[in-house]
Amino acid sequence: MPSIEIRQLAATDIELMRQLLTVFGDAFEDKESYCQNQPTDEYLQNLLNRDYFIAVAALKSGQVVGGLVAYELQKFEQARSEIYIYDLAVLSEHRRQGIATACIEKVQEIAAERGAYVIFVQADYGDDPAINLYSKLGKREDVMHFDIPPA
Architecture of domain 4-137: 3-Layer(aba) Sandwich (3.40)
The whole model's pTM is what? Answer: 0.88
**Domain limits, the chain:** 4-137
- Residue 57: name the closest of 46, 70, 39, 45 by CA: 70
Residue 77 DSSP code: S
Q: What gap in Å lies between CA 83 and CA 116, rounded to an integer?
A: 7
Q: Walk along the chain (151 residues) and give the pLDDT tens digit of each residue.
A: 579 999 999 999 999 999 999 999 999 999 999 999 999 999 999 999 999 999 999 999 999 999 999 999 999 999 999 999 999 999 999 999 999 999 999 999 999 999 999 999 887 777 777 776 777 777 777 776 766 667 7
